């Protein structure tokens, strides 16, 4: 008689099955008229679809550059290599730039990893916490503070990206394609981008909605800089 798995083992086995890392959990599944493997595939496909959709929303420019079909392959590989560790999928794509940089099929797109970095910073800026801005009164008081005691903090939504390629031009062109297409190679005047939230923050920023290409509560700006500076235990579960 096979020993019953403990709840923790059952949960891990189910999680592995959802990520296509084994089907051992099928012996514990009550198919309720459907083959256990077929019932498990329903959940597996649902998880995959939800995670890939989250990556589409986070990386519309990367998707535009590689095409829908290849992006599906890319996103599916990513979710297996970097499985979600949080119920909030807003953090799911944080390693996309590193993943893309190590992907042989897009090695010739040397700018793609930095485009992914820019898109991730866009999302971070949109989801950044609120902070009290320095007003005229505080600014006036700061004048009397000795410089060595003065501390200035940047807004949490502010992020800097240094790139050897004109990733901001590529990003903007993908939002509104026109001729001619930008040259993504090194361009000194476009090698540093600053992503920051605008003064009027989007109302969805406090919800669980993901930012999309049509939602732009962020403001990317170019900073010119010369080149070189830079439950009860059970052995069967119904699903």
Domain assignment of residue 112, yes or no: yes
What confidence score (pLDDT) does residue 51 get?
95
Determine the structural domain holding residue 172 and report its residue range: 31-132+153-229
Backbone angles phi and psi of 22, in degrees to 5: 140, 155
The domain tally of the chain equals 1
Pair of tokens at residue 145: 């503070």
- pTM score, two decimals? 0.70
In a domain, 16, yes or no: no
- CA dist., res. 138 & res. 161, Å (int): 29
Q: What distance in Å separates the CA atoms of residue 157 and residue 198, rounded to the nearest whole number?
A: 9
The predicted pLDDT at position 2 comes to: 62
- pLDDT score at 92: 94
Q: The tokens of 142 are what?
A: 């700061």
Residue 138 lies in a domain: no
Task: Give the C-alpha separation, 14 to 17, whole Å.
Answer: 5
Which residues have CB under 8 Å from 126's CB, separation 6+?
157, 197, 202, 205, 211, 215, 217, 218
| Residues sharing a CB contact under 8 Å with residue 23, sequence separation 6 or more, in sequence order | 17, 37, 40
Q: Over its length of 239 residues, how does the chain's per-residue pLDDT go in tens digits?
A: 466 788 888 888 888 888 888 888 888 888 788 888 888 888 899 999 999 999 999 999 999 999 999 999 999 999 999 999 888 899 999 999 999 999 999 999 999 999 999 999 999 999 998 888 888 888 888 888 898 888 888 888 988 899 988 898 899 888 888 777 777 765 433 444 555 543 333 333 333 333 343 333 222 332 223 333 333 333 333 33
Q: 96 with 102: CB under 8 angstroms?
A: no
Structure tokens at 100: 């893309």
φ, ψ for residue 157, nearest 5 deg? -85, -5
Task: Report whether 226 contacts 188 (CB < 8 A).
Answer: yes
Burial 146-170 (b: 16+ CB within 10 A, else e): eeeeeeeeebebbbebebbbbbbbb
Residue 61: the pLDDT is 95
- Find where tokens 């898109």 sit: 119
Confidence at residue 193, expressed as pLDDT on a 0 to 100 scale: 54
Tokens of 219: 């403001």
226: region left, alpha or beta (phi > 0 left; psi from -120 to 50 alpha): beta
Q: Is residue 221 part of a domain?
A: yes
CA–CA gap between residue 187 and residue 218 (Å, rounded) = 23
Query: SS3 for 222?
Result: strand
């Amino acid at each position: 008689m096979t020993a019953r798995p403990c709840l923790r083992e059952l949960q891990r086995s189910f999680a592995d099955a959802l990520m296509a890392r084994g089907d051992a959990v099928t012996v514990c599944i009550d198919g309720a008229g459907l083959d256990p493997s077929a019932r498990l595939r329903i959940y597996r496909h649902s998880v995959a679809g939800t995670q890939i959709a989250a990556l589409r929303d986070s990386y519309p420019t990367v998707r535009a550059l590689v095409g829908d079909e290849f992006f599906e392959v890319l996103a599916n590989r990513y979710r297996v290599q970097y499985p979600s560790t949080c119920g909030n999928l807003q953090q799911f794509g944080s390693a996309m730039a590193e993943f893309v940089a190590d992907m042989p099929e897009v090695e010739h797109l040397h700018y793609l990893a930095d485009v992914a970095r820019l898109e991730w910073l866009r999302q971070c800026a949109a989801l950044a916490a609120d902070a009290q801005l320095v007003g005229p009164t505080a600014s006036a008081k700061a004048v009397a503070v000795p410089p060595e005691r003065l501390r200035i903090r940047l807004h949490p939504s502010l992020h800097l990206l240094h790139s050897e390629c004109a990733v901001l031009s590529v990003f903007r062109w993908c939002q509104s394609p026109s001729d001619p297409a930008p040259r993504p190679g090194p361009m000194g005047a476009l090698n540093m981008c600053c992503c920051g939230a605008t003064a009027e923050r989007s109302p969805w920023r406090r919800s669980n909605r993901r930012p999309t290409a049509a939602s732009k509560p962020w403001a990317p700006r170019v900073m010119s800089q010369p080149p070189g500076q830079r439950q009860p235990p059970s052995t069967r579960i119904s699903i």
